[in-house]
Amino acid sequence: MADVIPFKGILYNPEKADADSVMAPPYDIVTPEFKEALYERSPFNVIRIDFGKDEDGDNEDENRYTRASRLLSGWLEEGILINDPEPSFYCYEISYNPPSPPFNKGGEGGIKKTRGFFGAVRIEEFGSGRIHPHEMTYSKPKSDRLNILKYCQASTSPIFSLYSSEKKIASSILGDIAKDKPFLEAKNGDGFIHRLWRISDRAVVEAIMGEMSDLDILIADGHHRYETSLKFKKEMEEKGLIKTGREPFNYTLMFLANIEDDGLTLLPTHRIVEINSDIHPKDVLGKYFDIQKVSPAGTSERQTRQKMFELMKKGAHSFGMFLTNSNTYYTLFFNGGKIDLSLPDCLRNLDVTVLHKFIFEKLLNIEHYEYEMDPDVAVERARKGSFEAVFFLNPTGIHDVKEVALAGQRMPPKSTYFYPKLLTGMVIYKF
């Protein structure tokens, strides 16, 4: 059973901290330039704890992790941060405007709401219970994340996770709670509104725990953070510090959203590729795909890409392609031929698998490719670098994520990009 419990969260004190200025995006999308901007935004911005700066003269006794630990303790003493006196779940809602291709921001689909709750989830090995990854990761857990756990004794950056419940017990509870005034409200740089409510009523807490106890949890975003939490737990076990299994470091901070709520948005990540000069992509791909040049008369390049994305929606295994040598966009429509991939059905039918395992590996022998979400940037990088093409993808379906994870399989890296990102700082789980 999934063990999801309430915890005494550490929260920003709305009387002493401006929520708009103290929150930060996840550490892994913060550029050095944006980190500086967050530092300047507030002396209490959570980036100083979660992803602080290195300084000249840093050593084993004085470094960004020791500073993070001091700041966390100091802000608690000053009342900038407050410790919730009762174990609670925390309803979290993001009101946002979904993007529309080819643009990554400023979509026209109207306001959507991602809603779920923060809880502490017992850590377990992948494949041993109810917590499932959905995507491959190649790099090892980052020592940076492990040091934050060690020095701060806290989970500062939540893992974005999913569950599937058609009963919608927690969803209904959260919907009612979200009608009240939130404890915290913050607006990020995109104008999205992030709200947080405390849930401490025992009957309500137990209702949520009861629903979650029989459900699987799928990691949407934060595989490395989960693996780092698992590594930290093992280190504590090696030190003989696990006596009951209920110690706080046996759990990690997760945001949990119901797949059935229809508030989630997935975006694709595109591939910038190098192709052997002896291979002509159109000739090779033409056996399996109907290739259509996209060149609407009198349109800009961005409008041409928009047309390409619109056409890509019309069939299974449809892709966009930009070739740098001809400066031309194409759509690839699968012609129904046999795609010979020795993979489980849940993977074999995914666009991202067809791209990687069939187009890249079997047809074009592509060995080097890079990832980019923004189509504008992808094309610009291809033109400036030693790349011959960009391949554009449709988004992976949310229920495909569920099917792959529950089957114990993993998609290729960067198969999903859950949007928008959670803010760091809405709640902290202190051991």
What are 197's strand-pairing partners?
A: 91
Query: What pLDDT was estimated at residue 140?
Result: 57
CATH level 2 (architecture), domain 269-394: 2-Layer Sandwich (3.30)
**Which stretches of the chain drop beneath a pLDDT of 70?**
1, 100-109, 138-141
Of 149, 359, 370, 343, the C-alpha closest to 378 is 370
Query: What pLDDT was estimated at residue 342?
Result: 87
Of 157, 182, 32, 15, the C-alpha closest to 92 is 182
What are 323's strand-pairing partners?
A: 328, 389
Q: What is the mean pLDDT of the chain?
A: 92
What are 413's strand-pairing partners?
A: none
Query: What pLDDT was estimated at residue 106?
Result: 44
φ, ψ of residue 254 in degrees (nearest 5): -130, 145
Of 19, 28, 17, 13, the C-alpha closest to 158 is 28
Query: What pLDDT was estimated at residue 101?
Result: 57
Query: What pLDDT was estimated at residue 337?
Result: 74
Domain ranges of the chain: 4-266+418-430, 269-394
- In angstroms, rounded to a whole number, what is the distance separating the alpha carbons of residues 8 and 11? 9
Enter the tokens of residue 84.
Answer: 């919730």
- Span 322-352, pLDDT tens digits: 999 999 999 999 998 777 788 898 998 899 9
- Span 361-374, pLDDT tens digits: 999 999 899 999 99
Query: What pLDDT was estimated at residue 104?
Result: 47
Query: What pLDDT was estimated at residue 211?
Result: 97
E strand or H helix at 82, and its extent? Answer: strand 81-83
